Structure 1
């Protein structure tokens, strides 16, 4: 998305690549439900490492998937990911460097015709005027076309409420700090406007009907396999490191996290058998009605 946001997408490239690989099953599950047999043109806005672009391509019989991002570094990672996992000439995946929504006209020209499916995951909330962005994307749809927003759900949980160090509720406070960071990020965006209603209402205000929501539960109970445990530890380490300079975590909690994430410490989370992964991710879907 826009490089004017406080988020440095270039620095997040390794994380985006990891997410595209780890979420492959989730992407395929969602794409299987979204892609119709007659779909020939789809666009993935804020594509990251193109995990969903690949999943959509796998579900299409033929046509184009246009993967859009504003960061050349992110698109380079997406190119490598696509090259390693896609070779079917019947569906072409195109990478386009466009800053949405500022360059919406360039995106419309690139697409050239009405779109069957618009996908945007955790992207619109990085735009100052979220309703205007949803409406602009809805205007790209052909009659009967669908727009899917992967926004919201429940934050991923990994730890028991009491880990035995510091005050109970450590991970709850981590989520709260991230939520405060999110509010700060939104307030600092250019032309930031509040959207005091949910994503389904935003889709309706963009002229789409019907509008539905599908929430998918992702659960990996304890004890985790070694690979999944490493994934959890890496994710927690990144989040704590990211929030550390913001001042949103207390010194007491930071001290606990330092011990829990230090492999040399006897309380290292990697020694525990009660780590788990639990999240619920929502996809909001709106359909452009046929003209009267």
Structure 2
């Protein structure tokens, strides 16, 4: 998390949500980490701590060879939790936590060393000047090393097209409302600069070469287990946060019914909810003479 105030966050609740999300996507993250790491990689720098699930996956992948994982975040509560989680994996992997903001030009000085792999998932789109951020992150990569960012590929879907409450197409309207919220958020962000190109082009403009991308699915068909049902509720809670003034009152009423865990219409009680999303990984290499 970077570039945001953390003053009013319920950290216990927030960390629990992040831990639950880590547990839900652990198979996909383990596979992603295994794909990203090269046999010669020993140092990993993760921008954005979360609850430490990805840092722990990197530590596990480095367990046989040894190495180090450095976690960077502006929120000390997240750093402490992520470091503790990653340190539990293997004593052959050094874990370091650095409190710093990815939007700050002093990031390289704060981190203090370059890494074989710099990894930032769902971070860059939140930063005011995204191209400048990519150039900043590229400086953290040793020559010959790589920068990998993960950004949204396709919008998450969890509901049938017609849930039997209100008008059909509720989820599509909620997704449109979230996209409207995001564009308004970026437009109102201090120092915001548009990025009128795709992520691969932006990585190339940041000075990286051999840029390539691929996507991975988080695909949980119905009926879901408890982890999946909890993930559906987290997704609907996120959509609820952004929908208040952007969809019709009837849609809000239906969404509140889906989120009411004591009610008969709660999404977690349905056997037809599912979880499907596609995230895209974009990787570029820093030139040897970079």
Give the TM-score normalised by structure 1.
0.90
The answer as to 2:252 corresponding to 1:250 is no
The answer as to 2:45 corresponding to 1:43 is yes
User: 1:9 offset after TM fit, Å?
Assistant: 6.1
Measured in 2, the distance between the counterparts of 1:135 and 1:7 equals 29
The answer to whether the 8 A contact 1:9-1:74 is kept is no
The answer to whether the 8 A contact 2:161-2:168 is kept is yes
Q: Which residue of structure 2 aligns with residue 72 of structure 1?
A: 76
Residue correspondence of structure 1 range 105-124 to structure 2 within 5 A? 105-108=106-109, 110-112=111-113, 114-124=114-124
Q: Which residue of structure 1 aligns with residue 220 of structure 2?
A: 220
Q: Which residue of structure 1 aligns with residue 55 of structure 2?
A: 53
User: 1:164 offset after TM fit, Å?
Assistant: 1.1
Measured in 1, the distance between the counterparts of 2:132 and 2:5 equals 17
Measured in 2, the distance between the counterparts of 1:7 and 1:33 equals 37
Measured in 2, the distance between the counterparts of 1:5 and 1:198 equals 28
Q: CA RMSD in A?
A: 2.2
Measured in 2, the distance between the counterparts of 1:160 and 1:220 equals 14
User: 1:40 offset after TM fit, Å?
Assistant: 2.0
User: 1:288 offset after TM fit, Å?
Assistant: 1.3
Of residues 27, 32, 35 in structure 2, which corresponds to 1:33?
35
Residue correspondence of structure 1 range 144-183 to structure 2 within 5 A? 144-183=144-183
Post-superposition Cα deviations, 1:234-274, rounded to whole Å, max 9, x if no partner, equal 432x2244225x51232110011122222443333233211
Q: Which residue of structure 2 aligns with residue 62 of structure 1?
A: 66
Q: Which residue of structure 2 aligns with residue 125 of structure 1?
A: 125
Q: 1:64 to 1:13 in 2, by over 3 A?
A: same
Q: Which residue of structure 2 aligns with residue 283 of structure 1?
A: 281
Measured in 1, the distance between the counterparts of 2:8 and 2:25 equals 22
The answer to whether the 8 A contact 2:83-2:96 is kept is no
Q: Which residue of structure 2 aligns with residue 99 of structure 1?
A: 101
Give the TM-score normalised by structure 2.
0.90
Helix, strand or coil for the counterpart of 1:197? coil
Measured in 2, the distance between the counterparts of 1:66 and 1:52 equals 11
Q: 1:128 to 1:57 in 2, by over 3 A?
A: same
User: 1:65 offset after TM fit, Å?
Assistant: 0.9
Measured in 2, the distance between the counterparts of 1:72 and 1:47 equals 10
User: 1:59 offset after TM fit, Å?
Assistant: 1.7
Post-superposition Cα deviations, 1:147-193, rounded to whole Å, max 9, x if no partner, equal 10101211211111011111111111111111111112212222101
Post-superposition Cα deviations, 1:122-149, rounded to whole Å, max 9, x if no partner, equal 1111110000000111122112111101
Q: 1:82 to 1:291 in 2, by over 3 A?
A: closer
Helix, strand or coil for the counterpart of 1:210? strand
Measured in 2, the distance between the counterparts of 1:15 and 1:97 equals 21
Measured in 1, the distance between the counterparts of 2:8 and 2:154 equals 24
The answer to whether the 8 A contact 2:100-2:107 is kept is yes
The 4+ residue runs of structure 1 with deviation greater than 4 A are: 5-11
Measured in 2, the distance between the counterparts of 1:141 and 1:31 equals 17
Q: 1:7 to 1:20 in 2, by over 3 A?
A: farther
